[in-house]
Structure 1
Amino acid sequence: MFLILIKRIDQGTENVIQACVENGVPSLLYTSSMEVIGPNHNRDPFVRGSEDTPYQVINHMPYPRSKAEAERLVLEANGIQVQGGQTLCSCSLRPTGIYGEGHQLMREFWEECVRRGGVHVGGIPDQVEHGRVYAGNVAWMHVLAARALREAPQSVAGEAFFCYDDSPYKSYEDFNMQFFAASNFRRVRVPLVLLFLMAFINDLLRWILSPVYNYTPLLNRYTLAVASTSFTVGTDKAFRHFKYTPLYSWDQCRQRTQEFVDSFGRDKRA
């Protein structure tokens, strides 16, 4: 099933590239993901890494594998000729953990705490940190990169860029919990080995139930590996290549996201 999924995504990317060729489209911007790089299967940390930081990329899960293959196809298509004699210029953007208004995983995280009676169960080590980037700044980087592809293609063609802003480095748990203060959730820490056992059981249940029920728990071995492995970026490549700076400051990102989170309780009461 995984190979079929990846093959379909690859075929879709190839179809997009072919459509650019046949219709004389000279610019192609791909929305990739930090997960094309990592965290890898060995859970090696990537701390303040840039686009040029050496890192052993090991992707076993379908999502990072499919994103990595699609990104490869897009970047390799850079420089091919399209209808009308122009040259296709392509680049890729790799957001780290996106957050902001409408972030469904943040809502699910909050609702899970509510179902447990106001208890957040976690156990990610304190030293783990992740890079986060506000959705509005990701969108702004797309606007600037697309503009550069049209007006100054030599600055971005064939390149990949991490999406970043001034959001603080925290674990996914700590980052989400900073917005949940008004909910007064109690935090219960469990040993990391127990979390891995719970993740294994969830994966086993998903496999057993798959013929009759789509069991999709938030905690599984893959999500726990990502959550327990530090992955942060420290780069200014997007600024150097197409003058990107965040459109929204951290204070604005925090305020907008907090207003979104505060709506959870109102929605539940309604």
Structure 2
Amino acid sequence: TMEENKRTLVYLITGGCGFLGKHLLDVLLEKEEKLAEVRVFDKHIYPGFHEQRKTDEVEVTLIQGDITDYNSVLEATKGVDVVIHSASLVDVWHKIPASLIYSVNVTGTENVIRACVECGVERLVYTSSMEVIGPNVKGDHFKSRGNEDTKYEVKHTMAYPKSKAKAENIVLRANGSQKYVEVVLLLHGCNFLGSACYLKSFVLPSLQEKIWKFQSLKNQTTLELTVQSNVAWMHVLAARALKMNPEKVAGEAFFCYDESPYKSYEDFNMELLSEFNFRKVCMPGIVLCFLAILNDFLRWILSPFYNYTPLLNRYTLAVASTTFTVQTDKAQRYFQYQPLYDWSQCLARTQSWIRTFPADKQKDS
């Protein structure tokens, strides 16, 4: 049929079973009319993934592979038109060795670029992170709701933001300098529908018992919250723009944004979790600072014997207590981006998802 003839595009999503990866796949299946196949590349494939997203018109191919293994990346890339490289190791709690973070985030990115060059893939969309910019080690605020051109002193000690910054530089150097590869960067940060691993590790145990949510007194701290489905939609539009208007968008970096409200982590958590009997306890910022320093000291002391990785450390406290908001329309100007979903829709969807946690727990046990 004519409809089938139109469907020629093949996408590869690295990290396709991750939280953003699943949204990327869903948005592609819903919005990309020329889509013929999506290859979902991930180290960890969970049961039922293929059945949940199978369609009559688009082939969804699951590829279990390691981003640090060049040959597996190369095989997955053959015959692909667009690569969305979202595979990443995220760690701000010192749970993962720095060498492994660099291996996945830096070497993995090098492998993707090399495979794109070898296979003649012309379009690469790279998922970066706002942590590449900040907060820096001094906790400087990203003031005045800045944009992609706002000056900010970038200085990090954690392996995760340093590795993502290094990968960003590798991607930007590859743009135009390698055979046919055009790239665009998308930086996303405090993502609403939040990090699945964070929400499950924090919320799931708490649903079994009465819990307390500690809050810093820095109520003036606000952050940019972005709906994950809108982040995914930006990736799809950026990929289209690389085809239609490469001279304008190639080599550019875009902040991910939508119309979600500016909120502190505490206000966001309470709006999201209050119906689940979460309670908020105010704690002086100086106490939280002391506890963060103490946790870092204990982690250092115990490191030869035990991997002590509490949620609160100096870096996570800096993230939670540093104002980091953006106000930009760059994606709208460059590729006519408009958000797909609004705040209230996604708040309701996320709360529905959280209600499934106890059932998931029972299934696992």
With normalisation by structure 2, the TM-score equals 0.67
**CA deviation profile, 1:78-124 (whole Å, cap 9, x unmatched):** 11242xxxx22111000121131772312333346557833212215
Most deviating of 256-265 and 147-156: 256-265
Query: Greater RCO between the two (CA within 8 Å, min separation 6)?
Result: 1
Partner of 1:13: 109
Q: Which residue of 132, 140, 146 maps to 1:44?
A: 140
Q: Which residue of 138, 145, 151 maps to 2:238?
A: 145
Unaligned runs of 5+ in 2: 1-96
Whole-Å separation in 1 of the counterparts to 2:211 and 2:178: 58
One-letter amino acid of the counterpart of residue 121, structure 2 = V
Residues 182 and 4 of structure 1: CA distance in aligned 2, closer, same or farther (over 3 Å): closer
One-letter amino acid of the counterpart of residue 53, structure 1 = T
Partner of 1:58: 155
Whole-Å separation in 2 of the counterparts to 1:206 and 1:226: 19
How much has 1:267 moved relative to structure 2?
5.4
Q: Please say if residues 113 and 120 of structure 1, whose CA atoms lie closer than 8 Å, have aligned partners that are also in contact.
A: no
How much has 1:134 moved relative to structure 2?
1.1
Identical counterparts, % of pairs = 53
Residues 122 and 265 of structure 1: CA distance in aligned 2, closer, same or farther (over 3 Å): farther
1:187 aligns with 2:284: no
Alignment size in residue pairs: 266
Write 1 or 2 for the structure with the bigger share of strand. 2
Unaligned runs of 5+ in 1: none
Q: Please say if residues 59 and 65 of structure 1, whose CA atoms lie closer than 8 Å, have aligned partners that are also in contact.
A: yes
Residues 182 and 134 of structure 1: CA distance in aligned 2, closer, same or farther (over 3 Å): same
Whole-Å separation in 1 of the counterparts to 2:361 and 2:186: 36
How much has 1:7 moved relative to structure 2?
6.3
Residues 254 and 114 of structure 1: CA distance in aligned 2, closer, same or farther (over 3 Å): closer
Most deviating of 209-218 and 152-161: 209-218
Q: Which residue of 265, 283, 290 maps to 1:172?
A: 265
Whole-Å separation in 1 of the counterparts to 2:192 and 2:229: 9
Partner of 1:224: 317
How much has 1:225 moved relative to structure 2?
0.7
Most deviating of 199-208 and 252-261: 199-208
Q: CA RMSD in A?
A: 2.3
Residues 101 and 169 of structure 1: CA distance in aligned 2, closer, same or farther (over 3 Å): closer
Q: Please say if residues 29 and 90 of structure 1, whose CA atoms lie closer than 8 Å, have aligned partners that are also in contact.
A: yes
